[in-house]
Amino acid sequence: MKKYLKLAAYAALLLLLPFATGLALGKTWVRILDFALLYVMLALGLNIVVGFAGLLDLGYVAFFAVGAYCYALLASPHFGLHLPFWMILPIGAFAAGIFGMLLGAPTLRLRGDYLAIVTLGFGEIIRIFLNNLDTPYNITGGPQGVDLIDPIRLGPFSLNQPPGHAVYSYYFLFLLFALATAFVSMRLQHSRIGRAWAAIREDEIAAEAMGIDTRNVKLLAFAMGASFGGLSGGLFAGFEGFVSPESFTLTESIMILSMVVLGGMGHIRGVIFGALLLSILPEALRYVGPLEQSLFGKIVVDPSSLRMLLFGLSLILVMLLRPAGLWPSPARKRELLAHGDTAKHENTGVYDAGR
């Protein structure tokens, strides 16, 4: 009984949150909430790759971009296509998954470091392509991007209705998807595949000896994380009505990674917490500019670079001081804090656990 009451309280909170926020702080903050939910989805997707399987993906935003451009190209006047969103979202997720496979296949049989640097490169390369594929045929719209993208429509009902209140309808759509993503993540974590991922993360050779096809299972994690990114990308494009290469920079990848690392890699609640924290907290930094103005009479430190500086610092400090994140899962905490024999035994190299 108590459990249901608690659940009902959470549900009521989530349902009323946008209206309360809208009344108290204005619609800008409801929009921030929408984005926070989008980031929750992205962070949970990246968590499958980084947290569950222990593969470092530094270009996660590329998959987000693939999903967003899929939606943009299939539901806008750009090509004159107007497919419904329930068709495009799976297409976007699938396309992102394919990209993930293409990228993962050559690198996943090698050391994890290669994957990190290849994904880092891929994140940049995809932006170069998005920027330049407007000649000779205009595919991506180049630096201008694609605009006038159709809003997400449920039957005859467009989520942009009633006019000016789109942020509320999208809140509920995103909430639904974020909850679904969290649910899928939870089920995945304790499934056979999820346990295989954990085994690979902890000791790849032992996992292989237990009969796990490490390469394919890693590839699956990578492709699955990528398709979550693609899905969120589609939602993003429908919400914004406009996509351009500017939205898909390395900064975004780092931000999503910071959410996962800060919250607690592999711990779903921690990751959700990290995503909410890092998507809402930096908004407070917008007050730093005026504050500096009033204190020193000029802008001493650019707030946007301050934000990135804090992300960089948080990555370092969390790894040094709380490697399991701010809200670690009980099991992971034990593993990461395992000093002494186990850790020594696994690390014969100076840095590299893999020697």
- Given the rule CB under 8 A, which residues bind other proteins? 50, 54, 56, 58, 106-107, 109-114, 116-118, 120-122, 124-125, 128-129, 131-132, 135-136, 204-205, 250, 254, 257, 261, 265, 301-302, 305-306, 308-309, 311-316, 319-320, 323, 336, 339, 343-344, 347-355
Which amino acid does the sequence have at 189? Answer: Q
Please identify, using beta-carbon distances, which residue of 294 and 305 lies nearer to other proteins. Answer: 305
With a CB cutoff of 8 Å and minimum separation 6, the contacts of 20 are none
Longest Cα–Cα distance of the chain, Å, equals 65
| Spatial distance between the Cα atoms of 53 and 50, rounded to a whole number of angstroms | 6
**Least distance to other proteins, CB of residue 342, Å:** 10
Residues in the chain: 355
**Least distance to other proteins, CB of residue 339, Å:** 8
Which amino acid does the sequence have at 61? Answer: V
Residue 257: CB atoms within 10 A of its CB come to 23
Q: Are strands 157-158 and 242-243 parallel, antiparallel or unpaired?
A: unpaired
**Least distance to other proteins, CB of residue 298, Å:** 14
- Please state, in angstroms and as integers, the Cα–Cα distance from residue 138 to each residue in 130, 143, 145, 175, following that order: 10, 11, 10, 35
**Least distance to other proteins, CB of residue 312, Å:** 3
Please identify, using beta-carbon distances, which residue of 1 and 350 lies nearer to other proteins. Answer: 350
Please identify, using beta-carbon distances, which residue of 131 and 158 lies nearer to other proteins. Answer: 131
Please identify, using beta-carbon distances, which residue of 22 and 270 lies nearer to other proteins. Answer: 270
Please identify, using beta-carbon distances, which residue of 165 and 208 lies nearer to other proteins. Answer: 208
**Least distance to other proteins, CB of residue 134, Å:** 11
With a CB cutoff of 8 Å and minimum separation 6, the contacts of 332 are 264, 265, 266, 267, 324, 325
Q: Is 351 helix (H, G, I), strand (E, B) or coil?
A: coil
**Least distance to other proteins, CB of residue 209, Å:** 12
Please identify, using beta-carbon distances, which residue of 11 and 299 lies nearer to other proteins. Answer: 299
Residue 94: CB atoms within 10 A of its CB come to 18
